[in-house]
Structure 1
Amino acid sequence: MSKDGSISTSVIKRLPRYYRFLGELQKEGLERISSRELSERMKLTASQIRQDLNCFGGFGQQGYGYHVDELRMEIGKILGVDKHFKTILIGAGNLGKAIATHINFETRGCNLIGIFDINPKLTGEVVGNIPIRHTNDIESFCEANSPVVAVLC
């Protein structure tokens, strides 16, 4: 952390990576991990990991390491993945449909509420329980639903 209390861009850019790695550790069933073990997996130094995480408070305990579930939850809060921002997807072609179908928006802090495309042939088609709307409807939809995030495909 700098003298003025701000957090460096480098640390902020590493947070999603920590979040992903901790998710992998959860899938492996790992409950605790030391900064040394985490550093070996992430190809960072243990000191760098401790410094990064200390920017946001004390998450670990010397000689005990980090509790994987708790650390991931805290990093998730910092990243805002616990907020579930209202999200729309613009572009329902092959890529848009694949993203809407195969990306779990909820685990990434988003709640997909609308899908739009300029192709009138796609209007009314349902993707993941969400009907595709024409892009002409974006303005009125946004006024009524107040999305915060838009994914452009």
Structure 2
Amino acid sequence: MKKDHKDVSMAVIRRLPKYHRRLKELMEKDVTRISSKELSGMIGFTASQIRQDLNCFGGFGQQGYGYDVSELYTEISRILGLTEHYNTVIVGAGNLGQAIANYSNFEKKGFHVLALFEKNPRLIGLKIRDVPVLDIDELEEFAKNKSVDIGVICTNSENAQDVADQLVKLPVKAVWNFAPVDIILPENIVQENVHLSDSLFVISYLLKMQRDEQQNP
């Protein structure tokens, strides 16, 4: 039984990729079924939390049997939209932009990088895993003949908002922002911000707490 997903919290949504990754690992080991308790030991969430999360989308498990690994993997792929195809452009062909373009797993999951766009003349004309690096001034014309779903921002903070505005005009349906600044987008544009420094600062905090505990047992 499928449920209406509109009221599912973002906290639950953000846990789904971890389930998806672990289930993939189980399939590669030829594991066919798993209980919520066993999955809990792998993931770190409680068995109760796992059951609650999955029940948000319908009944996938069977009492006394657990979850069919392949079936659950397929269902979570569908829920996450990984059965779809997304045309993607990357703005900013520096180290980060190139790393994203080089990550072949995105392609396997349906995220097709059409091109990278850059203003640095030394980078324009390169190919990253057969994906061309084009002049940023060509972005609008390029998009006229392509349906672009996702725009990835890998620029510095000073240029990020201007790039976001350009992407909205294409138009894109979603923006994945790696620039270290919050950008403003229309409400109809899906937005996900990845601030790498935030994650690093969390590590810094945890290290500090660990050191404090060791110095003051």
Asked if structure 2 preserves the Cα contact closer than 8 Å seen for 1:84 and 1:106, the reply is no
Letter in 2 for 1:20: R
Aligned ranges for residues 139-150 of structure 1 at < 5 Å? 139-150=140-151
Rounded to whole Å, the distance in 1 between the matches of 2:38 and 2:131 is 42
Greater mean alpha carbon deviation, residues 15-24 or residues 34-43: 15-24
User: Corresponding residue for 1:123?
Assistant: 124
The question of whether the paired residues in 1 share the 8 Å contact of 2:89 and 2:114 is answered with yes
SS at match of 1:88: strand
Which runs of no fewer than 5 residues in structure 2 stay unpaired?
1-5, 155-217
Amino acid in structure 1 at the alignment position of 2:58? G
User: 2: CA distance between counterparts of 1:26 and 1:134?
Assistant: 42
SS in 1 for 2:148: coil
2:65 is the counterpart of 1:64: yes
- Provide the rounded CA distance (Å) in 1 between the counterparts of 2:13 and 2:94: 33
Percent sequence identity is 50
- SS at 1:121 equivalent: coil
Deviation at 1:103, TM superposition (A): 4.2
Larger displacement relative to structure 2 (99-108 or 32-41): 99-108
Whether the 8 Å CA contact 2:101–2:131 is kept in 1: the answer is no
Separation in 2, partners of 1:130, 1:138 = 14
Partner of 1:145, secondary structure, is coil
| CA-CA distance at 1:93 after TM superposition | 1.6
Alpha-carbon displacement from aligned partner over 1:91-122 (angstroms, at most 9, x marks no partner): 11222222211342123441111111111222
- TM-score if structure 1 supplies the norm length? 0.88
In the alignment, what sits opposite 1:87?
Answer: 88
Partner deviation per Cα, 1:24-51 (whole Å, 9 max, x = no partner) = 2223222211111001111111111111
Query: Does the CA contact (< 8 Å) of 2:90 and 2:151 recur in 1?
Result: yes
Q: How does 1:25-40 map to 2 (within 5 A)?
A: 25-40=26-41
Flag structure 1 segments of 5+ consecutive residues without an equivalent: none
Secondary structure at 2:145's aligned position in 1? helix
Equivalenced residue count is 149
- Secondary structure of the residue aligned to 2:65 is coil
Q: CA RMSD in A?
A: 1.6
